[in-house]
Structure 1
Amino acid sequence: MEKSLKTYDFKSNETIASVGASGGVWEIYFASQVDGLTFYLQDINEALCNEEEIKEGILFYEKFLGKSIQGKFIPVIGTEKNTNLPENTFDKVLIINSFHEFLFPNAILNDCKSILKKGGILFIEEQLARYAGEIHEGCLKPLYLESELIAFAESCGFVLQRIVDKGNEVKIFCFGKA
Protein backbone atom coordinates (compact mmCIF):
# COMPACT_ATOMS: atom_id res chain seq x y z
CA MET A 1 0.00 0.00 0.00
CA GLU A 2 2.90 2.36 0.64
CA LYS A 3 4.05 2.35 -2.98
CA SER A 4 0.47 3.02 -4.06
CA LEU A 5 0.14 5.86 -1.54
CA LYS A 6 3.35 7.44 -2.80
CA THR A 7 2.30 7.07 -6.45
CA TYR A 8 -1.18 8.52 -5.92
CA ASP A 9 0.40 11.53 -4.15
CA PHE A 10 -2.80 12.61 -2.41
CA LYS A 11 -3.11 16.22 -1.26
CA SER A 12 -5.42 17.45 1.48
CA ASN A 13 -8.85 18.53 0.20
CA GLU A 14 -8.72 16.38 -2.94
CA THR A 15 -11.86 14.63 -4.15
CA ILE A 16 -11.17 11.11 -5.38
CA ALA A 17 -13.34 8.49 -7.05
CA SER A 18 -12.47 4.85 -6.58
CA VAL A 19 -14.23 2.67 -9.16
CA GLY A 20 -14.78 -0.94 -8.09
CA ALA A 21 -13.91 -0.02 -4.49
CA SER A 22 -16.20 -2.41 -2.56
CA GLY A 23 -16.17 -1.14 1.04
CA GLY A 24 -13.12 1.07 0.58
CA VAL A 25 -10.44 -0.79 2.54
CA TRP A 26 -7.56 0.78 0.57
CA GLU A 27 -9.17 4.20 0.51
CA ILE A 28 -9.79 4.24 4.26
CA TYR A 29 -6.11 3.47 4.79
CA PHE A 30 -5.12 6.29 2.40
CA ALA A 31 -7.34 8.70 4.36
CA SER A 32 -5.58 7.61 7.56
CA GLN A 33 -2.34 8.88 6.04
CA VAL A 34 -3.55 12.15 4.44
CA ASP A 35 -6.18 14.27 6.22
CA GLY A 36 -8.97 16.04 4.38
CA LEU A 37 -9.59 13.58 1.54
CA THR A 38 -13.07 12.92 0.17
CA PHE A 39 -13.54 9.52 -1.43
CA TYR A 40 -16.50 8.47 -3.54
CA LEU A 41 -16.43 4.69 -3.21
CA GLN A 42 -18.14 3.25 -6.28
CA ASP A 43 -19.11 -0.34 -6.95
CA ILE A 44 -21.94 -2.28 -8.59
CA ASN A 45 -22.42 -4.53 -5.54
CA GLU A 46 -24.52 -2.82 -2.87
CA ALA A 47 -23.81 -5.65 -0.42
CA LEU A 48 -20.12 -4.67 -0.44
CA CYS A 49 -20.36 -0.92 -0.99
CA ASN A 50 -22.52 0.64 1.71
CA GLU A 51 -22.34 2.79 4.85
CA GLU A 52 -22.14 -0.21 7.19
CA GLU A 53 -19.14 -1.77 5.39
CA ILE A 54 -17.38 1.60 5.29
CA LYS A 55 -17.98 2.20 9.02
CA GLU A 56 -16.56 -1.25 9.83
CA GLY A 57 -13.45 -0.45 7.78
CA ILE A 58 -13.00 2.90 9.51
CA LEU A 59 -13.36 1.31 12.96
CA PHE A 60 -10.83 -1.39 12.04
CA TYR A 61 -8.19 1.11 10.91
CA GLU A 62 -8.83 3.49 13.81
CA LYS A 63 -8.27 0.62 16.26
CA PHE A 64 -5.31 -0.80 14.30
CA LEU A 65 -3.58 2.58 13.86
CA GLY A 66 -4.65 4.09 17.19
CA LYS A 67 -5.95 7.33 15.65
CA SER A 68 -9.11 8.74 14.16
CA ILE A 69 -9.57 8.93 10.40
CA GLN A 70 -10.52 12.34 9.07
CA GLY A 71 -11.59 11.37 5.54
CA LYS A 72 -15.06 11.53 4.09
CA PHE A 73 -16.48 8.44 2.34
CA ILE A 74 -19.50 8.44 0.05
CA PRO A 75 -20.77 5.11 -1.32
CA VAL A 76 -22.14 5.17 -4.87
CA ILE A 77 -23.76 2.23 -6.63
CA GLY A 78 -23.16 2.13 -10.36
CA THR A 79 -24.01 -0.22 -13.18
CA GLU A 80 -21.85 -2.36 -15.44
CA LYS A 81 -21.74 0.55 -17.95
CA ASN A 82 -21.98 3.65 -15.76
CA THR A 83 -20.26 4.72 -12.53
CA ASN A 84 -23.15 7.06 -11.58
CA LEU A 85 -20.53 9.53 -10.35
CA PRO A 86 -20.86 13.29 -10.98
CA GLU A 87 -19.11 14.79 -14.02
CA ASN A 88 -16.06 17.09 -13.77
CA THR A 89 -15.74 16.44 -10.03
CA PHE A 90 -12.64 14.39 -9.33
CA ASP A 91 -8.97 15.28 -9.00
CA LYS A 92 -8.10 11.60 -9.26
CA VAL A 93 -9.89 8.42 -10.28
CA LEU A 94 -8.57 5.10 -8.96
CA ILE A 95 -9.23 1.66 -10.38
CA ILE A 96 -7.48 -0.75 -8.02
CA ASN A 97 -7.37 -4.43 -9.01
CA SER A 98 -10.76 -4.33 -10.69
CA PHE A 99 -10.20 -3.27 -14.31
CA HIS A 100 -10.02 -6.91 -15.43
CA GLU A 101 -13.47 -7.48 -13.87
CA PHE A 102 -15.30 -4.83 -15.91
CA LEU A 103 -17.72 -6.34 -18.42
CA PHE A 104 -17.81 -3.07 -20.40
CA PRO A 105 -14.39 -1.49 -19.87
CA ASN A 106 -14.84 1.01 -22.75
CA ALA A 107 -18.00 2.39 -21.18
CA ILE A 108 -16.40 2.66 -17.74
CA LEU A 109 -13.24 4.36 -19.09
CA ASN A 110 -15.34 6.83 -21.09
CA ASP A 111 -17.32 7.51 -17.93
CA CYS A 112 -14.06 8.00 -15.98
CA LYS A 113 -12.98 10.56 -18.56
CA SER A 114 -16.18 12.55 -17.98
CA ILE A 115 -15.94 12.52 -14.17
CA LEU A 116 -12.32 13.76 -14.02
CA LYS A 117 -11.67 17.46 -13.65
CA LYS A 118 -9.45 19.15 -16.22
CA GLY A 119 -5.90 18.10 -15.34
CA GLY A 120 -7.16 15.12 -13.34
CA ILE A 121 -5.39 11.77 -13.33
CA LEU A 122 -6.69 8.24 -13.85
CA PHE A 123 -4.74 5.56 -11.98
CA ILE A 124 -5.23 1.93 -12.96
CA GLU A 125 -3.48 -0.42 -10.53
CA GLU A 126 -3.70 -3.88 -11.97
CA GLN A 127 -2.14 -7.34 -11.90
CA LEU A 128 -0.99 -8.03 -15.45
CA ALA A 129 -0.99 -11.21 -17.47
CA ARG A 130 2.40 -12.82 -18.04
CA TYR A 131 1.00 -14.46 -21.17
CA ALA A 132 -2.11 -14.03 -23.32
CA GLY A 133 -5.18 -15.61 -21.74
CA GLU A 134 -3.84 -15.81 -18.18
CA ILE A 135 -6.66 -15.95 -15.62
CA HIS A 136 -6.81 -14.01 -12.33
CA GLU A 137 -6.61 -16.54 -9.49
CA GLY A 138 -9.18 -14.76 -7.31
CA CYS A 139 -12.06 -14.00 -9.67
CA LEU A 140 -11.16 -16.34 -12.57
CA LYS A 141 -11.44 -13.51 -15.14
CA PRO A 142 -8.81 -12.92 -17.84
CA LEU A 143 -5.99 -10.53 -17.05
CA TYR A 144 -4.71 -7.89 -19.47
CA LEU A 145 -1.27 -7.80 -20.98
CA GLU A 146 0.46 -4.47 -20.32
CA SER A 147 0.22 -3.46 -23.99
CA GLU A 148 -3.51 -4.32 -24.07
CA LEU A 149 -4.30 -2.23 -21.00
CA ILE A 150 -2.42 0.80 -22.34
CA ALA A 151 -3.99 0.50 -25.80
CA PHE A 152 -7.43 0.19 -24.20
CA ALA A 153 -7.04 3.37 -22.16
CA GLU A 154 -5.53 5.27 -25.09
CA SER A 155 -8.44 4.24 -27.34
CA CYS A 156 -10.77 5.88 -24.79
CA GLY A 157 -8.94 9.21 -24.90
CA PHE A 158 -6.31 8.84 -22.19
CA VAL A 159 -2.59 9.54 -22.49
CA LEU A 160 -0.10 7.42 -20.55
CA GLN A 161 2.03 9.61 -18.27
CA ARG A 162 4.01 6.96 -16.39
CA ILE A 163 4.06 3.41 -15.09
CA VAL A 164 5.06 2.38 -11.57
CA ASP A 165 6.10 -1.25 -11.11
CA LYS A 166 5.01 -2.66 -7.74
CA GLY A 167 6.49 -6.11 -8.38
CA ASN A 168 4.71 -9.46 -8.68
CA GLU A 169 3.23 -8.44 -12.06
CA VAL A 170 1.34 -5.50 -10.49
CA LYS A 171 1.76 -2.06 -12.03
CA ILE A 172 0.16 1.34 -11.58
CA PHE A 173 -0.64 3.13 -14.84
CA CYS A 174 -1.03 6.91 -14.58
CA PHE A 175 -3.11 8.49 -17.36
CA GLY A 176 -4.17 12.03 -18.17
CA LYS A 177 -7.01 13.03 -20.47
CA ALA A 178 -5.98 13.55 -24.10
Structure 2
Amino acid sequence: MKQLLEHFSWKPSDTLLSLGCGSAWWEVNLLLHQPCQEIILIDPNTQLLTLEAVKESIDYFEKKQSLSFSTQVQISHSPLSQTPITPHSIDGVFVFNAWHELAPLEEILPALKRIVKLGGWILLEEELSVGHRRIHEGCAKELYFQDEIDLQMASIDFSLSQKLVKEKQTFYLKYMNP
Protein backbone atom coordinates (compact mmCIF):
# COMPACT_ATOMS: atom_id res chain seq x y z
CA MET A 1 0.00 0.00 0.00
CA LYS A 2 2.87 2.37 0.78
CA GLN A 3 4.12 2.07 -2.82
CA LEU A 4 0.64 2.79 -4.14
CA LEU A 5 0.28 5.94 -2.03
CA GLU A 6 3.77 7.15 -2.97
CA HIS A 7 3.20 6.87 -6.73
CA PHE A 8 -0.51 7.45 -7.30
CA SER A 9 -2.64 10.21 -5.87
CA TRP A 10 -6.10 11.70 -5.94
CA LYS A 11 -7.63 14.84 -4.49
CA PRO A 12 -9.86 15.11 -1.41
CA SER A 13 -12.59 16.44 -3.72
CA ASP A 14 -12.45 13.43 -6.09
CA THR A 15 -15.17 10.86 -6.65
CA LEU A 16 -13.65 7.41 -7.07
CA LEU A 17 -15.05 4.01 -7.94
CA SER A 18 -13.76 0.54 -7.17
CA LEU A 19 -14.83 -2.29 -9.44
CA GLY A 20 -14.82 -5.89 -8.20
CA CYS A 21 -13.91 -4.62 -4.74
CA GLY A 22 -15.01 -7.56 -2.61
CA SER A 23 -15.40 -6.33 0.97
CA ALA A 24 -13.44 -3.11 0.15
CA TRP A 25 -10.62 -3.89 2.56
CA TRP A 26 -7.92 -2.26 0.35
CA GLU A 27 -10.07 0.75 -0.48
CA VAL A 28 -10.87 1.53 3.15
CA ASN A 29 -7.22 1.33 4.17
CA LEU A 30 -6.11 3.52 1.24
CA LEU A 31 -8.80 6.15 1.78
CA LEU A 32 -8.07 6.35 5.48
CA HIS A 33 -4.59 7.58 4.53
CA GLN A 34 -5.61 9.63 1.50
CA PRO A 35 -9.34 10.47 1.59
CA CYS A 36 -11.54 11.43 -1.32
CA GLN A 37 -15.02 12.93 -1.27
CA GLU A 38 -16.83 9.74 -2.24
CA ILE A 39 -16.15 6.18 -3.31
CA ILE A 40 -18.61 3.97 -5.16
CA LEU A 41 -17.95 0.31 -4.39
CA ILE A 42 -19.20 -2.20 -6.97
CA ASP A 43 -19.19 -5.95 -6.56
CA PRO A 44 -21.92 -8.45 -7.50
CA ASN A 45 -21.29 -10.54 -4.37
CA THR A 46 -24.00 -9.47 -1.92
CA GLN A 47 -22.53 -11.69 0.81
CA LEU A 48 -19.08 -10.11 0.58
CA LEU A 49 -19.85 -6.45 -0.10
CA THR A 50 -22.16 -5.19 2.64
CA LEU A 51 -22.41 -1.95 4.59
CA GLU A 52 -21.63 -3.97 7.71
CA ALA A 53 -18.43 -5.40 6.21
CA VAL A 54 -17.28 -1.94 5.08
CA LYS A 55 -18.07 -0.52 8.53
CA GLU A 56 -16.07 -3.32 10.16
CA SER A 57 -13.10 -2.49 7.91
CA ILE A 58 -13.41 1.20 8.74
CA ASP A 59 -13.55 0.48 12.49
CA TYR A 60 -10.57 -1.88 12.25
CA PHE A 61 -8.33 0.52 10.33
CA GLU A 62 -9.38 3.60 12.31
CA LYS A 63 -8.37 1.82 15.50
CA LYS A 64 -5.16 0.37 14.04
CA GLN A 65 -4.02 3.63 12.38
CA SER A 66 -5.49 6.14 14.86
CA LEU A 67 -7.05 8.00 11.93
CA SER A 68 -10.63 8.99 11.04
CA PHE A 69 -12.34 7.77 7.88
CA SER A 70 -14.07 10.71 6.17
CA THR A 71 -14.94 9.42 2.67
CA GLN A 72 -18.61 8.93 1.79
CA VAL A 73 -19.32 5.33 0.73
CA GLN A 74 -21.89 4.12 -1.78
CA ILE A 75 -22.41 0.41 -2.50
CA SER A 76 -23.78 -1.24 -5.64
CA HIS A 77 -24.23 -4.88 -6.54
CA SER A 78 -25.43 -4.11 -10.08
CA PRO A 79 -23.21 -4.53 -13.12
CA LEU A 80 -21.28 -1.35 -13.89
CA SER A 81 -23.26 -0.82 -17.10
CA GLN A 82 -26.50 -0.81 -15.06
CA THR A 83 -25.29 1.30 -12.13
CA PRO A 84 -26.78 4.80 -12.34
CA ILE A 85 -23.67 6.99 -12.51
CA THR A 86 -23.69 10.42 -14.12
CA PRO A 87 -21.56 10.50 -17.30
CA HIS A 88 -18.04 11.88 -16.80
CA SER A 89 -18.46 12.12 -13.00
CA ILE A 90 -15.75 9.70 -11.85
CA ASP A 91 -12.20 10.98 -11.33
CA GLY A 92 -10.61 7.57 -10.95
CA VAL A 93 -11.32 3.85 -10.89
CA PHE A 94 -9.56 1.16 -8.85
CA VAL A 95 -9.54 -2.49 -9.89
CA PHE A 96 -7.58 -4.52 -7.35
CA ASN A 97 -6.70 -8.05 -8.52
CA ALA A 98 -10.03 -8.39 -10.33
CA TRP A 99 -9.59 -7.38 -13.99
CA HIS A 100 -9.18 -11.03 -15.03
CA GLU A 101 -12.54 -11.83 -13.35
CA LEU A 102 -14.61 -9.01 -14.84
CA ALA A 103 -17.03 -9.89 -17.58
CA PRO A 104 -18.40 -9.07 -20.01
CA LEU A 105 -15.71 -6.55 -20.96
CA GLU A 106 -17.84 -5.59 -24.00
CA GLU A 107 -20.18 -3.91 -21.48
CA ILE A 108 -17.65 -2.83 -18.85
CA LEU A 109 -15.25 -0.96 -21.16
CA PRO A 110 -17.88 1.37 -22.71
CA ALA A 111 -19.35 1.97 -19.24
CA LEU A 112 -15.90 3.01 -17.98
CA LYS A 113 -15.49 5.34 -20.96
CA ARG A 114 -18.89 6.88 -20.22
CA ILE A 115 -18.35 7.55 -16.50
CA VAL A 116 -14.66 8.53 -16.23
CA LYS A 117 -13.93 12.25 -16.64
CA LEU A 118 -11.52 13.53 -19.27
CA GLY A 119 -8.16 13.47 -17.53
CA GLY A 120 -9.44 10.70 -15.26
CA TRP A 121 -7.77 7.36 -14.72
CA ILE A 122 -8.18 3.63 -14.24
CA LEU A 123 -5.66 1.99 -11.90
CA LEU A 124 -5.31 -1.78 -12.11
CA GLU A 125 -3.40 -3.83 -9.61
CA GLU A 126 -3.19 -7.06 -11.53
CA GLU A 127 -1.23 -10.26 -11.71
CA LEU A 128 -0.22 -10.74 -15.35
CA SER A 129 0.77 -13.54 -17.63
CA VAL A 130 4.44 -13.02 -18.46
CA GLY A 131 6.12 -15.23 -21.04
CA HIS A 132 3.32 -17.80 -21.06
CA ARG A 133 -0.41 -17.85 -20.26
CA ARG A 134 -0.93 -18.28 -16.53
CA ILE A 135 -3.97 -19.19 -14.46
CA HIS A 136 -4.92 -17.26 -11.31
CA GLU A 137 -4.52 -19.54 -8.30
CA GLY A 138 -7.52 -18.15 -6.44
CA CYS A 139 -10.22 -18.27 -9.13
CA ALA A 140 -8.69 -20.49 -11.87
CA LYS A 141 -9.30 -17.82 -14.55
CA GLU A 142 -6.74 -17.00 -17.22
CA LEU A 143 -4.52 -14.01 -16.52
CA TYR A 144 -4.05 -11.37 -19.21
CA PHE A 145 -0.80 -10.35 -20.84
CA GLN A 146 -0.20 -6.62 -20.45
CA ASP A 147 -0.49 -6.01 -24.19
CA GLU A 148 -3.99 -7.51 -24.08
CA ILE A 149 -5.04 -5.04 -21.36
CA ASP A 150 -3.34 -2.19 -23.26
CA LEU A 151 -5.47 -3.05 -26.32
CA GLN A 152 -8.65 -3.28 -24.23
CA MET A 153 -7.97 0.18 -22.78
CA ALA A 154 -7.01 1.57 -26.20
CA SER A 155 -10.43 0.46 -27.46
CA ILE A 156 -11.92 3.18 -25.21
CA ASP A 157 -9.09 5.66 -25.90
CA PHE A 158 -7.31 5.18 -22.56
CA SER A 159 -3.52 4.88 -22.66
CA LEU A 160 -0.94 3.55 -20.24
CA SER A 161 0.63 6.37 -18.25
CA GLN A 162 2.41 4.51 -15.43
CA LYS A 163 3.55 0.99 -14.67
CA LEU A 164 5.07 -0.19 -11.41
CA VAL A 165 6.10 -3.65 -10.29
CA LYS A 166 4.31 -4.58 -7.07
CA GLU A 167 5.59 -8.12 -6.82
CA LYS A 168 7.20 -10.65 -9.14
CA GLN A 169 4.35 -10.79 -11.69
CA THR A 170 1.91 -8.33 -10.15
CA PHE A 171 1.85 -4.78 -11.46
CA TYR A 172 0.16 -1.42 -11.01
CA LEU A 173 -1.02 -0.21 -14.42
CA LYS A 174 -2.48 3.29 -14.65
CA TYR A 175 -4.46 4.21 -17.75
CA MET A 176 -5.46 7.79 -18.51
CA ASN A 177 -8.46 9.22 -20.31
CA PRO A 178 -6.85 12.03 -22.35
TM-score, normalised relative to structure 2? 0.91
One-letter code aligned to 1:13: S
Listed one character per residue, the Cα deviations across residues 105-145 of structure 1 (whole Å, up to 9, x for unaligned) are 23212211111112111112211112433100111111011
Could you tell me which residue of structure 2 aligns to residue 106 of structure 1?
A: 106
CA contact (8 A) 1:62 1:69 kept: yes
Could you tell me which residue of structure 2 aligns to residue 3 of structure 1?
A: 3
User: Do structure 1's residue 59 and structure 2's residue 48 form an aligned pair?
Assistant: no
CA contact (8 A) 2:15 2:36 kept: no
2:82, 2:42 → 1: CA distance? 7
One-letter code aligned to 1:53: A
Could you tell me which residue of structure 2 aligns to residue 84 of structure 1?
A: 83
Shift in CA distance, 159/35, structure 1 to aligned 2, threshold 3 Å:
closer
Q: How many Å apart are 1:29 and its aligned residue?
A: 0.8
One-letter code aligned to 2:161: Q
Percent sequence identity over aligned pairs? 27
CA contact (8 A) 2:91 2:117 kept: yes
SS at match of 1:18: strand
User: Do structure 1's residue 164 and structure 2's residue 164 form an aligned pair?
Assistant: yes
CA contact (8 A) 2:43 2:77 kept: yes
One-letter code aligned to 1:152: Q
Shift in CA distance, 106/28, structure 1 to aligned 2, threshold 3 Å:
same
What residue ranges of structure 2 are gaps of 5+ in the alignment? none
SS at match of 2:81: coil
Could you tell me which residue of structure 1 aligns to residue 153 of structure 2?
A: 153
Could you tell me which residue of structure 1 aligns to residue 47 of structure 2?
A: 47
One-letter code aligned to 1:84: T
SS at match of 1:108: helix
CA contact (8 A) 1:19 1:83 kept: no
SS at match of 2:113: helix
Q: Which deviates further from its counterpart, 94-103 or 130-139?
A: 130-139
User: Do structure 1's residue 141 and structure 2's residue 141 form an aligned pair?
Assistant: yes
Residue correspondences, number? 177
What residue ranges of structure 1 are gaps of 5+ in the alignment? none
Q: How many Å apart are 1:103 and its aligned residue?
A: 2.3
1:93, 1:167 → 2: CA distance? 21
CA contact (8 A) 2:16 2:36 kept: no
Runs of 4+ in 1 over 3 A off after TM superposition: none
TM-score, normalised relative to structure 1? 0.91
One-letter code aligned to 2:4: S
One-letter code aligned to 1:164: L
CA contact (8 A) 2:39 2:74 kept: yes
Listed one character per residue, the Cα deviations across residues 31-74 of structure 1 (whole Å, up to 9, x for unaligned) are 11123441111111121122111111111111211232122211
2:146, 2:84 → 1: CA distance? 27
1:35, 1:103 → 2: CA distance? 29
